[in-house]
Amino acid sequence: MNNYPSHFKKLHVFIGFISLIYTSAELYLTDYIWDFKNLQFFLPLIITILSYRFKLFYNPIDFDENFYYHKKGKVKIPISSIQSIKLTNISNEKNEPYWKITYLTNKLETVKISPPMLDNSFAKFIELVKEKNPAVNTDTFEFNLEYGFLPKIFWKSNQKE
């Protein structure tokens, strides 16, 4: 768990702390502690601990200095062959947009990805692609932290209408 981004650890600590305060207040105000109705207040704290432990919400983009690994390493795309990274109009069930990566082999090929919303791996990926291939055509994707731990993303298409 040492490879977690620091803001991700802080976010889980914040959520766990708020859950603990809420649970403590509910248990303090109750007459009988071991009632199921009172034990259910531990659920947010347990879910927070389990999500941190098993990385339930942490799914970074897999890449290194030379390659992007799509679908858990099944497709290995050279960073220098990427021609464009464009925002699509398609979203997944969480309303997160898909991005289309176009790369050159013997012909132009594309893959679609949905970048993680809780870490900056996709923003780092775009910066690395721009560094390796300055002519790449990309849309805007920005990842910022509010208050040092709350992720905030911004994306927009750079197409001129």
Which tokens belong to 72?
């858990």
- Distance separating alpha carbons of residues 140 and 10, to the nearest angstrom: 26
pLDDT at 100: 93
pLDDT at 2: 58
Domain carrying residue 94: 67-156
Q: Which of 87, 79, 97 is nearest to 136 (CA)?
A: 79
Same domain, 72 and 137: yes
pLDDT at 125: 92
Same domain, 14 and 72: no
Q: Which residue has the tokens 């809780």?
A: 118
- Asked if the structure places residue 34 within a domain, the reply is yes
* Mean pLDDT to the nearest integer, 133-145: 90
pLDDT at 161: 42
pLDDT at 127: 93
pLDDT for residue 1 is more than 60: no
- Asked if the structure places residue 62 within a domain, the reply is no
- Asked if the structure places residue 78 within a domain, the reply is yes
Same domain, 145 and 101: yes
pLDDT for residue 83 is more than 90: yes
* Mean pLDDT to the nearest integer, 130-159: 87
* Mean pLDDT to the nearest integer, 48-59: 83
- Asked if the structure places residue 161 within a domain, the reply is no
CB hemisphere CA count around 58 (13 angstroms) = 18
- Asked if the structure places residue 1 within a domain, the reply is no
**Confidence (pTM):** 0.74
Same domain, 88 and 44: no
Q: What is the mean pLDDT of the chain?
A: 84
Same domain, 145 and 114: yes
Domain count, the chain: 2
Check if the beta carbon of residue 85 is closer than 8 Å to that of residue 138.
Answer: yes
- Asked if the structure places residue 58 within a domain, the reply is no
Check if the beta carbon of residue 111 is closer than 8 Å to that of residue 77.
Answer: yes
* Mean pLDDT to the nearest integer, 124-143: 91
**CB proximity list for 99: less than 8 A, separation 6 or greater:** 85, 86, 87, 88, 112, 113, 114, 115, 122, 139, 141
Q: What is the DSSP string of 37-99?
A: HHHGGGHHHHHHHHHHHTTTT-----B-SSEEEETTTTEEEEGGGEEEEEEEEEE-TTSPEEE
pLDDT at 160: 54
